[in-house]
Amino acid sequence: MILIVDSGSTKSDWLAVDKDGNKVMEKIRTKGLNPAILSERKLYKTIRKSEELTSNSEKVTHVFFYGAGCGTENPREMLKGVLEDIFPNANVEVNEDTLAAVYSTINDPKEAAVVCIMGTGSNCSYYDGETLHQRVFSLGYTLMDDASGNYYGKQLIRDYYFNHMPENVKVAFGAKFNMDSDFIKYNLYKQPNPNAYLANFAEFMFLHKDSEYTINLIKDGIRLFAKNMIMQFKEELKTVPVHFAGSIAFFSQNEIREVAEEMGFKVGNFVRRPIDGLVPFHISNL
């Protein structure tokens, strides 16, 4: 059994397939497994909570894991050790989530492209057809992650409290979420995964795209992301497209295209869930 995993900070999707790529069980979903945020104990607990994974652990021959927080060595090695312990007969590979985005968005295995992730978190890399190049390493949701779910959640909460929202939008926002200050602070400072908590607010924008306020909010975040992340590859952008993966990007396609026209880069493909394109890639490269 081969496990292919696409993990963000909010959730992890696990696909179990055989050596021919045929699905051997339904997609498994666990909570997010970001090793830069979660402790080793929490990683074990989250995975072992899945009865499907634990009951089939010795049947697994390969684990291909792509995840947020796996771009630096120490968190990546910690998670690799956890997976090797839980799946003792498996060859385990742990890679950053950007690589999953690359494999699922490019049109050809040797295609060069700038590839962006805009989901709970955000990131951007250049793939030259063989190697992934990262010029700015992510410092996580507190300092970076422009145009991500947690970025927009933070902006929405701030605008609500600073009274920057139009009144009708503020009323709708307050009706949808618990905006009690103590409740918000409890989730941000005393609960695990505050980035995932913030990202839950982002859906509101896409349900209220009839408001100029929300359209501008989306585009301002994309401009910031493009300035800080996409435009670091200014020379490469002259000849390659920019592909996007993740739910925020998928639901912001019109706004991304508008910003791309403003800033002079070519938009390529959009994929909401990178995991869907990873099976054929790995089966052909076993």
User: What does the pLDDT look like over 167-206, one tens digit per residue?
Assistant: 999 999 999 999 999 999 999 999 988 998 999 999 999 9
Q: State how many domains the chain has.
A: 1
Q: Is the pLDDT of residue 276 over 90?
A: no
Q: Nearest Cα to 95, choosing from 113, 68, 116, 122? A: 68
pLDDT band for position 72 (cuts 50, 70, 90): confident
User: What's the CATH code of the domain at 37?
Assistant: 3.30.420.40
- Section 101-120 average pLDDT: 91
**Averaged pLDDT score across all residues of the chain:** 93
Rounded-to-integer distance, Cα 101 and Cα 159, Å: 31
Rounded-to-integer distance, Cα 112 and Cα 127, Å: 5
Maximal CA-CA distance, the chain: 58
C-alpha separations of 190 from 149, 151, 186, 221 in Å: 20, 19, 5, 27
- The verdict on residue 256 lying in a domain is no
3 state DSSP class of 279: helix
- The verdict on residue 235 lying in a domain is no
Enter the pTM of the model. Answer: 0.80
pLDDT band for position 15 (cuts 50, 70, 90): very high
The pLDDT, as a whole number, for residue 283 is 82
- The verdict on residue 114 lying in a domain is no
Domain of 67?
A: 2-100+275-283
The pLDDT, as a whole number, for residue 193 is 84
State the sign of the Cα–Cα–Cα–Cα dihedral 138, 144, 149, 154: positive
Rounded-to-integer distance, Cα 185 and Cα 168, Å: 25
The pLDDT, as a whole number, for residue 71 is 82
- Section 26-46 average pLDDT: 94
The pLDDT, as a whole number, for residue 107 is 87
